Amino acid sequence: PNIVYALKQRGHDAGKSVPKALGVCEQIGRYACMILMWLPLLVWKFGFGSPAEFVLYLLLNGVLIFAYYLGWLRYFKKPGLKIAMALAVIPTLVFLTSGLLLRHWLLAAAAILFGISHGRITYITHAGNRRTGHNAVSFDMTPEDKRR
């Protein structure tokens, strides 16, 4: 869903109001989380403390990922600030849950960095659109899209 969103937003100026440092923090947090999900960097014992923690990990992340995809379906039908914020928080919770249950503190820290910056960027871009009436998250074909 993120790729579809990125392709539909190509050429929109929604990102211009986001402070550069905030965008850098988001990208550092995003890529650190993606890498640290499979790379146990600075973790002496990589794994779950018990079988119950593993089951909790599977259940929590399963529910979160399911909710994430349902959120995208809702967002593609009717974009808005509330659903956008949920879509910003859910991946953070997946990364944070993984970091905490695996005792991968670097992943947990990266998830917090990503969550704070991604949430703030989502709020800036969507709340600004509500005030100005500009809908930078429209999924209708524009005349420019039809010419491509």
- Residues 105-132 have pLDDT tens digits of 999 999 999 999 999 999 998 886 554 4
Q: What was the pLDDT predicted at 43?
A: 77
pLDDT over 90 at 44, yes or no:
no
More reliable by pLDDT, 49 or 42: 49
Residues across the chain? 148
pLDDT over 50 at 144, yes or no:
no
Computed over every residue of the chain, the mean pLDDT equals: 82
Q: What was the pLDDT predicted at 7?
A: 63
pTM for this entry: 0.77
CA-nearest of 5, 4, 1, 29 to 125 is 5
Q: What was the pLDDT predicted at 47?
A: 80
Its sign, for the CA torsion 100, 102, 108, 109, is positive
* Rg of the Cα atoms in the chain: 17
